[in-house]
Amino acid sequence: MLCQRCGEREAEIFQTQRVGDELYDRDLCSACAKLDYGVGALLQCQAPGATPLTEEDERELRRVLDQAAPSEDAPARED
Could you tell me which residue, 26 or 48, shows the higher pLDDT? 26
Name the band, by pLDDT with cuts 50, 70 and 90, for residue 14: confident
Q: What is the pLDDT of residues 15-37, one digit of tens each?
A: 887 778 888 888 888 778 777 65
Could you tell me which residue, 40 or 53, shows the higher pLDDT? 53
pLDDT at 56: 84
Q: Write down the domain spans for the chain.
A: 1-35, 37-71
Count CB-CB contacts under 10 A for residue 12: 14
| H/E stretch holding 60 | helix 55-68
Torsion on CA atoms 42, 12, 7, 65, rounded to nearest 10: -10
Supply φ then ψ for residue 62, to 5 degrees. Answer: -65, -40
pTM of the shown model: 0.46
